[in-house]
Amino acid sequence: MGHLRTCPSGFSLLLQDMEGQELPYVLIDRIGGKHGVYEDHVEFLEKHFRLVTMKEYLENKTFLSKKITAIYMWYYKPVINEELLQSLPNLKILASSGVGIDHLDLNLLSSYSVKVSNTPFAVSTDTADMGMALMLASSRRLVEGYQLAVSPDTEYFPADWLGAEVSGASLGIVGMGTIGYKVAERAKAFEMKILYHNRNQRKKEEESAVGAIYCKKIDDLLQQSDFVLLSVNLTPQTRKLIGKRELELMKPTATLINISRGLVVDQDALVEALQNRVIKAAALDVTYPEPLPRDHPLLKLKNVIITPHIGSATKKTRRRMMENMTESIEASLAGLPVPNEVLQ
């Protein structure tokens, strides 16, 4: 075990690892609770770092401000602002969980020479699975079917209670990055016609592997697709990418699936489109805010499925995210190339 030192506040700091080397001090928000580091991740992390919670940091700023060299951001916490960055003169890297970086001010971090990493590849498989799950659940009316099956008022199952076919249908993927491509691989097994819109067209061999057709204009994709799946990063360019105009371009029998960020869709326009049957249905793993207010109209519509932003929420993936973040921090502090570094 390492040596223990008690700071003025009374908490103990682990200063050295088993070889006598001082462990890097890494700032976290908290352990456990709503946004805290998972308790079953702590043992692994403490083999690599001296974890400092925000509470500990605020109580011992004088001692800790120059010690902390990395921030481990889990569930967008701790919140990063200029005041915090100014107080951490030796900060080298911020490792953020997940793929989205819309919660970070990259220009601000860069001005303090702080590198940023995320975990895009760790989350891609589970998030792609979630996209397919939402498409299947929505098309076959799984939630409604469950409610019908367990309702105390159900006396028989109506013969005209019908869903829509996924196999052979057209899937339009907006954002053919790592996650979008994995969705396409899964959709190919359902013999779907796959269209995609992306900033850049993929290589011909990648398109051929999944049978994907590139749509340079998003309008072409929207008009042809039975299912439109959103898998883009939230940027100023993608904010409210899908609005009233785009929804009206979609087929009245189409379903919108969002596994990216809630703000990619104009939510008010979506409510109106669903209420007026401009499109058939929506399946959303993301909204804004999260969770929605309990009186929000989306929660009252039967042609909507909403899940609580659980695209990457499996034990294996969350642990892989934690391991990726650890690797990025250690590489940065050792002066090595940072895996999954976010470059502007």
Ordered strands of the 193-197 beta sheet: 212-214, 193-197, 170-174, 227-230, 255-258, 281-284, 304-306
Give the span between the Cα atoms of 71 and 94, in whole angstroms.
Answer: 5
Whether 103 sits among the annotated catalytic residues: the reply is no
Best CA proximity match to 257, nearest among 171, 184, 193: 171
Give the span between the Cα atoms of 162 and 159, in whole angstroms.
Answer: 8
Whether 185 sits among the annotated catalytic residues: the reply is no
CB 307, CB 135: distance < 8 Å: no
Best CA proximity match to 223, nearest among 262, 249, 248, 196: 249
Please give the backbone phi and psi of residue 49, each rounded to the nearest 5 degrees, phi first: -135, 160
Selected catalytic residue, list 141, 261, 318, 320? 261
Give exposure, 295-319, as e/b (b: 16+ Cβ within 10 Å): eebbeebebbbbbebebbeeeebbe
The count of other CB atoms within 10 Å of the CB of residue 73 is: 25
Residues in the chain: 344
Give the span between the Cα atoms of 56 and 7, in whole angstroms.
Answer: 10
User: Which residues make beta-bridge pairs with 6?
Assistant: 12
> Which residues have a Cβ under 8 Å from the Cβ of 47 and sit 6 or more positions away?
17
Selected catalytic residue, list 41, 186, 309, 320? 309
Whether 309 sits among the annotated catalytic residues: the reply is yes
Tell me the C-alpha to C-alpha distance, in Å, between residue 233 and each of 41, 102, 291. Answer: 27, 8, 20
Selected catalytic residue, list 82, 165, 185, 290? 290
Instruction: Judge residue 222's burial from the number of C-beta atoms within 10 Å of its C-beta, 0-12 exposed, 13-18 middle, 19 or more buried.
Output: buried
Active site residues: 261, 290, 309
